[in-house]
Amino acid sequence: MATTPEVRESPKVRQRRAANPATWVRGGGLTTLLFALPMIFVFTIFSWLPIIRSVIMSFQKTNLVQPATWVGFDNFTAVLRDPLLGTAIANTGYFALLALIMGFPIPIIMAVLMSEVRRGKGFYSALAYLPVVIPPVVAVLLWRVFYDASEQGPFNVILGWFGIPPQDFLQSQTQAMPALVIEATWAAAGGSIIIYLAALLIVPPELYDAAEVDGAGIWRKIWHVTLPQLRGVLFVMLILQILATAQVFLEPFLFTGGGPANATVTILLLIYRYAFQNSLGGNYGMATALSVMLALFLAVLSWVYFRLTNRWSTS
């Protein structure tokens, strides 16, 4: 008895059948959608709608008290003409540069050293992560005590042991920003250390064994084995740090309020001033206009960064 040969469907035919609504429902698509609806609703209400509302507000003159009026690009023009904008951009870039120099290599070095510890690794990991657990406001208030400019200030007492006179720290235009970066590095390094420790677990041990056979010391093993194996993680952590430092607000706001003489005014602190430190409740139009400009800049920066580093992190 002859049998008819099996007819195989082409990929295009299978794709059209999968796109059929009845096939999608029978395949459980409706159930999946029902489970996803609450998440989609919450994400839309608390994420996308505020973003859309902010973009609209950037083209309006409003203080959330009086009726809003449409002003087009006037808010963007006013922000670009503000002489304090250049200072805020320069200060933010300076903070990001110092944080990159101080804060990026320290967690890597700490994670590598902790990975070499044979005993008490969990204790050291918890100790490194402790600053992240401390509430940020409490941490800032603690460091304000450390930065006390008097001779009895903890840091000035330590400097006095080496014959260095008391420093002003937060009251100095040249020392205020580095002081903020040191505290921010201390507060955020714990999370990065934990991520690097987890990434180090996937490095094949035989690579270190081969390096030891070749006579490599610890620093050569770090340079030729550890860092190349962590390229992907390093690239991701770098862009995350750049994005975080570009949006720094807490430290300048709580430590110095932007002083002395606007030496620590950052972009987000300037946005705060537009919104809350003007008459009649502030100018939320200018605040959201600068927020939109910052968001667009960071989006373009992230896109360019990932385009440039995508091949390097996988090669």
pLDDT averaged over every residue in the chain: 84
**What is residue 297's predicted lDDT score, i.e. its pLDDT?**
94
Is it the case that residue 36 has pLDDT exceeding 70? yes
CA angle 86, 92, 95 (to 5 degrees): 140
**What is residue 87's predicted lDDT score, i.e. its pLDDT?**
95
Per-range mean pLDDT, top range of 28-32, 104-108, 300-304: 300-304
Residue 33: band (very low, low, confident or very high) from pLDDT cuts 50, 70, 90: confident
Structure token digits, residue 132: 């992240």
Where along the chain do its domains lie? Answer: 11-57, 77-314
Q: What is the DSSP letter of 279?
A: G
Is it the case that residue 310 has pLDDT exceeding 80? no
Is it the case that residue 180 has pLDDT exceeding 90? yes
Percent of the chain predicted with pLDDT > 70: 89
**What is residue 222's predicted lDDT score, i.e. its pLDDT?**
76
CA 123 remoteness from chain centre: 26
Is it the case that residue 296 has pLDDT exceeding 60? yes
Please name which of 4, 244, 6, 226 lies closest in space to residue 103, comparing C-alpha atoms: 244
Q: Does domain 77-314 have CATH number 3.20.20.140?
A: no
194 CB-near residues (< 8 Å, 6+ apart): 125, 128, 129
**What is residue 16's predicted lDDT score, i.e. its pLDDT?**
57
Please, what is the end-to-end C-alpha distance for the chain in angstroms? 58
pLDDT in tens, 266-283: 999 999 999 887 655 678
Long-range contacts, stretch 183-187, CB < 8 angstroms, 24+ apart? 183/139, 183/140, 183/143, 183/251, 183/255, 184/99, 184/103, 184/248, 184/251, 185/99, 185/102, 185/103, 185/106, 186/131, 186/139, 186/143, 187/131, 187/132, 187/134, 187/136, 187/139
Distance CA 158, CA 155 (A): 5
Whether pTM > 0.75 for this model: the answer is yes
Per mean pLDDT, which range of 13-17, 40-44, 209-213, 242-246 is the poorest?
Answer: 13-17
CA angle 301, 305, 306 (to 5 degrees): 120
Q: Which residues pair with 61 in a beta bridge?
A: 69
Residue 198, SS3 per DSSP: helix
pLDDT in tens, 156-178: 999 999 989 999 999 989 999 99
CA 31 remoteness from chain centre: 36
